[in-house]
Amino acid sequence: MPTMGYLHEGHLSLLRRARREADLVVVSTFVNPLQFGCGEDFKRYPRDLPTDARLASREGCDVLFVPSPRDMYPFGYRTRVTVEGLDSVLCGRFRPGHFSGVVTVVLKLVNIVRPDALLLGQKDAQQAIIVKRMLEDLNAGVKVLVCRTVREKDGLAMSSRNIYLSPDERRRAAGISRSLFLARDLVRKGERRASVIRTRMKKVLAGAGITDIDYVEILDGSELVPLRRLEGEVLIAVAARVGRTRLIDNVKLRV
């Protein structure tokens, strides 16, 4: 179970799933410099290793792996992994190089730990899709388990970056999940036009005071190709800034 630490209930739900699935559970906590771009929050990303260790132990983690950047990227390190096409849409458009950093570190962790299964959260849907494709393409022999998004009582997806939000920003941030739940309800009632659903979602976001939007997209759930009409496995995804904090969320549907 790869993480960047600062564990919250979303991480712990993954750990519990791992405990049910496996004889031995390894959790890594590593704030990976390769997936942060210039001006992003690498230096201020929240870290609390003592609490992470306590929570991981409480939930049955057998090994907590805490490498340093020098351990993972020693002097002279030159190699990067990319997953072409899937890494250039959604968050990839706004964070160039991010997913190359993600899949590079995941492949290194897999090669170090040699797991049978890797657990990821649905909140990071694009990441999960890209990691799964990379492991399949490179014959890693690792099963990927994607677990449901864990949410706060008001629907906000749990994230380590939620700590950045002021009380007012925290209240407004719930508009992201409300827009996604509206989209889900529209689909359940029979709406299939992506343009109509996106327009309604943007109204919900605007009503919550969320105007700094990177994307509101409706795509094929495995190839990440934009859809005009919803059919098959569908990913509805949002990325927006609330204050200075960039938040992502999504719902996945079978239409």
Residues acting as catalytic residues:
11
Residues 6+ away with beta carbon under 8 Å from 53: 64
Q: What beta strand segments (E) does the chain contain?
A: 2-3, 26-29, 63-65, 117-121, 143-147, 212-220, 233-242, 245-254
Distance CA 16, CA 220 (A): 30
Distance CA 230, CA 214 (A): 21
Structure tokens given for 213: 């939007």
Residues 6+ away with beta carbon under 8 Å from 24: 62, 63
Distance CA 219, CA 203 (A): 20
Give the amino acid at 46.
P
Give the amino acid at 110.
V
Distance CA 253, CA 255 (A): 6
- Residues facing 241 on adjacent strands: 212, 246
Residue 177 vs residues 64, 136, 154, 236, 251: alpha-carbon distances, Å: 32, 31, 9, 11, 9
Give the amino acid at 31.
V
Distance CA 251, CA 217 (A): 11
